Amino acid sequence: MELSIYNIKGEDTGRKIELSDAIYGLETPNDHAIYLDVKQYLANQRQGTHKSKERSEISGSTRKLGRQKGGGGARRGDINSPVLVGGARVFGPKPRDYGFKLNKKVKQLARKSALTYKAKANNIVVLDSIELSEPKTKSFLSIANNLKVNDKKSLIVLSEPNKNVSLSVRNLQNANVVTVSGLNTYRILNADKLVLTESSVSALNEIFKA
pLDDT digits (tens, 9 = 90+) for 92-113: 999 999 999 999 999 999 999 9
* 101 three-class SS: coil
> Is 200 inside any structural domain?
yes
DSSP of 150-199, one letter per residue? TTS-EEEEESS--HHHHHHHTT-TTEEEEEGGG--HHHHHH-SEEEEEHH
Residue 22: which CATH number? 3.40.1370.10
pLDDT given at position 23: 93
pLDDT mean across residues, the chain: 92
pLDDT at 210: 54
End-to-end CA, the chain: 13
143: burial class by Cβ within 10 Å (0-12, 13-18, 19+)? buried
In a domain, 79, yes or no: no
Strand, helix or coil for residue 64:
coil
Task: Say how many domains are in the chain.
Answer: 1
Each residue's pLDDT tens digit, 22-56: 999 999 999 999 999 999 999 999 999 999 999 98
Percentage of the chain exceeding pLDDT 90: 72
8 is a domain residue: yes
pLDDT value, residue 75? 85
Is residue 152, in this structure, part of any structural domain at all? yes
Enclosing domain of residue 151 = 2-30+103-208
Q: Is residue 10 part of a domain?
A: yes
Instruction: Give the model's pLDDT for residue 76.
Output: 85
Residue 159 lies in a domain: yes
Can you give the length of the chain in residues? 210
This prediction's pTM: 0.83
- Is pLDDT above 90 for 119? yes
| Interatomic CA distance for residues 23 and 14, integer angstroms | 24
Query: What 3-state class would DSSP assign to 89?
Result: coil
In a domain? residue 39: no
Per-residue pLDDT tens over the stretch 125-173: 999 988 888 999 999 999 999 998 888 899 999 999 999 999 999 989 8
The reply to whether 111 falls in a domain is yes
Q: Within 13 Å of residue 136, how many CA atoms lie on the same side as its CB?
A: 8
pLDDT at 150: 85
